[in-house]
Structure 1
Amino acid sequence: MKTYYFDHAATTPMHPDVAKAMLEVMQGPGGNSSSMHAFGRAAKQQLNRSRDRIAAAIGCKPAELMFTSGGTESDNAAIIGAARAQRKQGKTHIITSAGEHHAVLHTCEWLSREEGFSLTVLPIDSAGQTAPQLVKDAMTPETALISIMHGNNEVGTLQHIEEIGAIARAGGALYHVDGVQTLGWSTSRLNELPVDLMSFSAHKINGPQGVGALYVTNGTLLEAIQHGGSQERKRRAGTENIAGIVGFAEAVEISVKEREKKQPFMDELRKRWVELLQEHVPVPVVVNGHESQYLPHIVNVSFIGVDTETMLMNLDMEGIAAASGSACTSGALERSHVLRAMHVSEERIQSAVRFSFGLGNTLEELEEAALKIGTIVRRIRNNY
């Protein structure tokens, strides 16, 4: 059976050049980058070279990058570490939005519940955006940290991070951005953005799973949440994943180099996919998210009248990989908290499916898959 992988927002296939770079490390001599002997120095050199490559590609200083195990750890390290550091300055208020990834929302809620921080969760509009004015209105002299993502992982909506960052700077608060979905897509240079902390993950850009990074601007106070070693400038204890970091650097360079041609093609796939679904599916197909400010590779649609879980099971049986939302919660039966926060109709929430595209996808396979989905929906309707 032919398969169709339309779930790149969950994880991406590894680029062959990334796998090759990692294999060279894994087949070479071992070495701990903290060791003083030649093997350790060689590992340290690979670590430093990778840090330099990523920093040059995304526009920051190498010393501002802290390697982690992925986006979730980066979000936790940023939010908990910055909040605790700011508390020592007398600031105990955190602002976030209802549309954030659970790695941000749950961490902020934990700080509020367990460590006494006050928390403001701002609403998002029907397109998935947080109005910068709401951020400004929510700020107080005690505001320690604002965490508003760049691109939403479920509906693809982009946020006004420049405006929000400027508001944070003016109010004396730190600004953290979950940039996991926008790495490789955004043309902005980090050192040009009013952002103090930004989270990244390698496996969203055809890199390896289990490695990510946190951008921490020079001078930003951050308490370590992991202890036991002096790695990563004493901000993240633990032996670095050299092979993964080398692969991460390769993936970042490839994504930046290919962005100019990849971005318009992904946007073409996205637009054509919606057209094909509306042409072949015998129920209304509604797009969820912003109509113009969106990531080019993510589209969330509701098949009105067709239950999400039923749809996903049938898609899987036909070899089509899609999702109901975040990969971190798609194993559960709960519906999208992002769509609920957008206050779309219940019938749209109950019938929403996220499709996301990337390496290997073609217009031809979209046309084939759309025909299959039309057949699936007719079959589901006939069985009701």
Structure 2
Amino acid sequence: MSRVYLDHNATMPLRAEARAAMTAAMDVAGNPSSVHAEGRAAKALIERARAQVAAAFGAEGADIVFTSGATEAAALALAGRDLLGAAVEHDAVASHVSGDLPVDRAGRARPAEPARSALQLANSETGVVQDLPAGLAVCDATQAFGKIPVAFNWIGCDMALISAHKIGGPKGVGALVMRRGTELAALLTGGGQEMGRRAGTENVIGIAGFGAAAEAAERELGSGAWARIADLRDGLEQRLRQAAPEVEIAGEGAARLPNTTCLISPGWKGETQVMQMDLKGFAVSAGSACSSGKVRESRVLRAMGYDEAAAGSAIRVSLGPGTTEEEITRFAEAWLAQREKHRARAA
């Protein structure tokens, strides 16, 4: 049978709209910094994408700086700044902040000084959505953008991070969204591209795909497609909990992304589950994909108060717009069958 992809939080398959925009952009020969007609045509593609991303992210009036991804956007926003973060932050953010903010059992932080804090809007492993305070310095909206209603102008932060491949755009392109007037020191210097904040010839093809994906994601969110996904996710959790009552769902009861479930099955290593499900034709993960292919104990779950055994026994299942009820049924049956085999071997 065909494989079932349930790792959309790691990357979402490329949307048809993004593919078409990128294909068209390949035929635009000019350098966007050139002043001739060919250069202006390439520049026009970038500015169209900038407008598309701004509209989809509710960032009208903000500056959008295209980068190679959310990781570069995080470095650009955070490097050299003394900001606080929580231990549940993505590695791209955690590597630049002091992990001093405590979190509750759901992984939510309550910073006393928002202006000195950088927080994620939604966690990639558990899907838990933060109740962000006003005046936040930096918001990592990478996982939330395109899955739940969110607007940069609602958040009220100085800067936000987003990524194309999390919404069905190409890998290797993202953006730093900035409240106009926010000061920023460029990491890459040279030319004056991206308003002098990120030197280097722009990735025109990738940026065009990002813009098209953002526009498509906005339409999809407005259509109610993610409500259907939430129903599929909830049905999966209910079925697994009924058949395997020892299973715990991280963040259960808290507001979560509609597509994400983090299953903790005590005594059954997450790495083993991922490999067994892969052999059965299902792509899931044991946490963030940004660890150079390594499978390791989840520091997010540890920060939430889970012990080492529980944190090492978790997998993440993340659905997408193309996920079907039949695929969820197949996954549940396969996972429960592997669980019974594990229990028999452990007996």
TM bracket, shorter-chain basis: over 0.9
Q: Which has the higher helix share?
A: 1
Q: Is the 8 A contact 1:276 1:367 kept in 2?
A: no
SS of the residue 1:329 aligns to = coil
1:157 partner letter: V
- Choose the corresponding residue for 1:124, options 103, 110, 115: 103
Give the match for residue 250 of structure 1. 212
* Alignment partner, residue 221 of structure 2: 259
Q: Determine which of 183, 201, 225 is the counterpart of 1:239.
A: 201
1:92-148 deviation digits (Å, cap 9, x = unpaired): x4211111001011122xxxxxxxxxx4521211111012xxx21xx4xxx973101
Aligned-pair CA distance for 1:381 = 2.4
**Residues 313-349 of structure 1, C-alpha deviations (whole Å, 9 max, x = no match):** 1111101111110001272242001000001233321
Letter in 1 for 2:272: T
How does 1:170-319 map onto structure 2 within 5 Å? 175-260=137-222, 261-281=224-244, 284-319=246-281
- Match of residue 106, structure 1, among 68, 71, 95: 95
Instruction: Give the aligned partner of residue 380 of structure 1.
Output: 342
Instruction: Tell me the alpha carbon deviations over residues 158-206 of structure 1, each in whole angstroms, 9 at most, x when there is no partner.
Output: 1121x2x34x5xxxxxx10110001113323322332100000000011
Percent identity of paired positions between Structure 1 and Structure 2: 37
Query: In the alignment, what sits opposite 1:20?
Result: 20
In structure 2, C-alpha distance between the alignment counterparts of 1:358 and 1:217, rounded to whole Å:
30
* Partner residue of 1:358 out of 320, 328, 341: 320
CA contact (8 A) 2:285 2:316 kept: yes
Who is 2:78 aligned against?
79
Cα distance in 2 between the residues matched to 1:64 and 1:213: 10
Paired amino acid for 1:360: G
Aligned residue type for 1:12: M
> How far apart, in 2, do the equivalents of 1:326 and 1:317 lie?
20
Aligned Cα root-mean-square deviation (Å)? 1.7
User: After superposition, what is the alpha-carbon deviation per residue over 1:214-245, rounded to whole angstroms, capped at 9, x for unaligned?
Assistant: 10111111110111211000000111111111
Residue 115 of structure 1: aligned partner = none
Deviation of 1:38 (Å): 1.3
* 1:346 maps to which of 282, 288, 308: 308
SS at match of 1:121: strand
CA contact (8 A) 1:301 1:354 kept: yes
Shift of 1:16: 1.2
CA distance in 2, matches of 1:11, 1:41: 32
Residues 28-69 of structure 1 deviation map (CA, whole Å, 9 limit, x = unaligned): 131110012211110011111111122122222365100011
Change (3 A) 1:31 1:128: same
- Number of residue pairs matched by the alignment: 345
SS of match in other structure, 1:107:
coil
1:94 corresponds in structure 2 to 83
In structure 1, how many angstroms separate the alpha carbons of the residues matched to 2:339 and 2:99? 41
Which residues in structure 2 correspond to 1:139-150 (within 5 Å)? 139=113, 145-150=116-121
Q: Establish whether residue 44 from structure 1 lines up as the match of residue 43 from structure 2.
A: yes
Pick one of 152, 156, 173 that aligns with 2:123. 152
1:60 and 2:39 equivalent? no
Query: Match of 1:68, as an amino acid?
Result: T
1:203 aligns to what SS in structure 2? Answer: coil
Q: Work out whether residues 280 and 371 of structure 1, in 8 Å CA contact, stay in contact via their aligned partners in 2.
A: no
8 Å CA contact retained: 2:225, 2:321: no
Q: 1:273 to 1:305 in 2, by over 3 A?
A: same
Please state how far the C-alpha of 1:312 moved relative to its aligned partner.
1.1
2:317, 2:55 → 1: CA distance?
31
Note if contact 1:307-1:350 (Cα within 8 Å) is conserved in structure 2.
yes
